[in-house]
Amino acid sequence: MRWVLYPLAALTALVILGVATLAAISLLAWPNLPSLETLTDYRPRIPLRIYTADGHLLGEFGEERRSVVRIESVPPALKQAILAAEDERFYEHPGIDLIGIMRAALANITSGGRGQGASTITMQVARNFFLSREKTFNRKFYEILLALKIERSLTKDQILELYVNQIYLGQRAYGFSAAARAYYGKDLGQITLAEAAMLAGLPKAPSAYNPIANPARAALRQQYVLRRMLEAGFIDEAAYRVAANAPKTAPAASTAKNTSVLHGDYVAEMARQLAVEQFGEDAYHLGIRIVTTVTRADQEAAYAALRKGVMDYDRRHGYRGPEAFVELPAGRDPETLDDLLADFSDHDDLLVGLVVEAAPKKVRVYRHGETLTIAGDGLKFVQPMLDEKAPQSRRLRPGAVVRLREVDDKGWEIVQLPDVQAALVSVDSHTGAVRALIGGFDFNRNKFNHVTQAQRQPGSSFKPFIYSAALERGYAPGSLVDDSPLYFPAGVTGSQAWEPKNYDGKFDGLMTLRDALARSKNMVSIRLLQNITPTYAQDYVGRFGFDPARHPPYLTMALGAGSVTPWEMATAYSVFANGGYRIEPYVVKEMYDGNGRLVARTDPPVAGESAPRVIDPRNAWLMDSMMQDVVRRGTATRARTLNRSDLAGKTGTTNDYLDAWFCGYNPDLVAVAWVGFSQPRNMGRGETGGAAALPIWINYMKTALQGRPETSQPRPDGLLAVPAGDGSREDYIYEENKPVAPPPREDLPSSLFSDRSPALEAPEEAIPPAPPVHQAPAPVVERVPVPVNR
């Protein structure tokens, strides 16, 4: 009997000694444990978020994507999935689960390793906040002590809330709310049971079970979590079967379809810069929230209109060929093909694909696990490059990297990434609040904001400001001006001879200003500027917000040879739209700190109230009337498809088709569309403001003005009705108008030109260069002959 009792006594003594030793070590270590203030005063790193005026997320900035939620807002299915996957007895144990530890120890002894750690949710919270992830017994010991301390200070729900918000789940997402958006494009409360199980499987190894990077392993982990939920009694057999058999839609595709993050990258970037100016680098983790002035409907309409306009332009100019070629492997297994496509990114709906088979009537394209067959209309755009006679460097053949776009229910087509750029901005004409802003075709390809940064020639879209100046010098819409040829010899210009032309090459003699503006007659604009003098016009256009220094006082100013941004043009046209007041466009409405406290709000000058009046109300009304004729019967008649009588505006096209504009409005909303290359070059014959820019404007305004009643500016006092100069209709003049002075002689003094006519051939001397930082190169001002603008 003694041979049994002695060893047992020795073992008991060892156990008691071990427990006593652990107790002593614990007592010594306990006072040195870190304070739990980090947990009790939880302040997570929350990114800077940008919202539309109607509450939709435009973008977020910060290393950690995080959206803090209260435990009451976590769906029951997700709570149960987390408990089933990580800690089924969470609400029963005191922070450490002895049963779980023994189970893990047995498994580790059996397997001969340390595969299972038996960490409870509380222990994971301790590790995430205070400890490293190294697998040592010392770290595990402190993890256990901290878990016990946490359980003494916080309730179970508080601990679970910390876990739900702090845990890293891949894709830069911290916390389950951010993960739901990153993987499924949904708010946390919208996820299904199957999606909850997928997310609950991530904490074990976010990279290994990432449903985007490793969908197969993620699906296996999801099935494990669902089985554990069934075994724990959280769900019944029916719910388990439905979730287990749910379609395994690729989360990346799900995100693309369901995400509520809008196409507002350029707006978000403008707001980000303002936040950093105010808060410095802390802006990225203080939870600052910025509310912009744009609305979801307007922003999406602007984006769709611009993309369509650019794609239509690109289609008009033909397929340039594949954007790259790769060497196809012999086996062509999906993993190898995916590696070949890894260097190419999707750009919204323009998806990257790899041609694996090409014939004149059928092309097969591989894309991320599937091979698409494209034929018929889907090949119409690229058909010339399927011909055997096509240049080898541009021919569509196996190994070609191409772009695919799904066309509604018509299937897929092969397209290409456009080279041309475009911009659109719309502004509330009364307050200056920006309703929509798209600074380029694709922010991820080109972050240069063409709305605010691109200094370009406005062409004939600048003519209304010359006409407005002429009204102040005695002209009226019905005044007759000669549309006959002009010629300035080299001796007068001080450089080369200048013989400007009209766009159509025709000259129509005497005509009213109203008709001349509608038909964009260059000779009339030049003669007006001759009479009122370029110096007066240069000073006058400053009233609209233009920088006079960028509009040298030469006769080419009449044809828009200066430089402007779409932002400036929206500001300037708002003066005509609102009856003569200068407003200041702005994009940030309110700014809140991490505690939800309002820290900044824009208080804009309002037309008719606090905004300064910069032109006579009669002038604004007459110019509005004249620009309505541009839409009714001039160069912008396409806009009549909107079936509204309150639209006005002006087209603009510069020399060599470098820039195309349409600036237009109704009394409440101004929108400016521009098309051109970032580095100015010819866009192709016929790519005028009416052909390239106006369709973008129309497609945007179709949505922006939907449901809005037609409005008109009330006619101000001080206008006298008179027959128009050509006797065709009634028109108006200022009551106190004086007769217009006769035009000056054609042999003008050389002061109207530069010494070397820089406005004609040396723009760098006539126009100050654009600032070098984040600016496009200074636009090329017209050379002789001066642009045939329209």
Residues belonging to the active site: 86, 460
Cα–Cα separations (whole angstroms), residue 394 to 70, 376, 397: 57, 20, 9
Burial class (CB in 10 A: 0-12, 13-18, 19+), 570: buried
Question: Any idea what DSSP says for residue 646?
Answer: S
- Bridge-partner residues for 69, per DSSP? none
| Cα(195)–Cα(247) distance, integer angstroms | 11
Report the distance separating Cα 60 and Cα 289, nearest Å.
9
Cα distance between residue 658 and residue 680, in whole Å: 6
DSSP annotation string for 528-575: HHHHH-HHHHHHHHGGGT--GGGS-SSGGGGGT-S-B-HHHHHHHHHH
DSSP 379-442: GTTTGGGGSTTS-TTT---TTEEEEEEE-TTS-EEEE-----EEEEEEEETTT-BEEEEE-SS-
| Beta carbons within 10 angstroms of residue 15's beta carbon | 10
Q: Where are the beta strands (DSSP E) in 559-708?
A: 588-592, 598-601, 648-653, 659-666, 669-676
Please give the Cα distance from 434 to 268 (Å, whole number).
13
Angle at 620 between CA 517 and CA 504, to 5 degrees: 10
- Containing 292, the helix (H) or strand (E) segment is strand 289-292
End-to-end, the C-alpha distance of the chain in Å comes to 115
CA angle 462–468–472, rounded 5-degree value = 150
Q: Which residues of 635-674 are buried (b: 16+ CB within 10 A; e: fewer)?
A: bbebbeebebebbbbbbbbbbbbbbbbbbbbbbbbbbbbb
Tally of CB atoms within 10 A around 692: 30
Q: Cβ contacts of residue 22 below 8 Å, gap of 6+?
A: none
Q: Where are the beta strands (DSSP E) in 313-392?
A: 324-325, 351-359, 362-367, 370-375
- Rounded CA separation 755/748 (Å): 14
State how far the Cα of 381 lies from the Cα of 416, in Å rounded to an integer: 9
Beta pairing partners, 665? 648, 670
Q: Cβ contacts of residue 678 below 8 Å, gap of 6+?
A: 421, 446, 448, 450, 454, 776
3-state secondary structure (DSSP) of residue 640: helix
Return the half-sphere exposure (C-beta side, CA atoms, 13 A cut-off) of residue 485.
6
Q: Which residue has the tokens 């809005």?
A: 708
Name, in order, each residue with C-beta under 8 angstroms of 19's C-beta and a sequence gap of 6 or more: none
The total of other beta-carbon atoms located within 10 Å of residue 317's CB is: 13
| Beta-carbon count within 10 A of 3 CB | 6
Torsion angles phi and psi, residue 324, rounded to 5:
-170, 165
Distance between CA 671 and CA 424 in Å, rounded? 7
Alpha carbon dihedral 755, 757, 762, 765, in 10-degree steps, equals: 50
DSSP 286: B
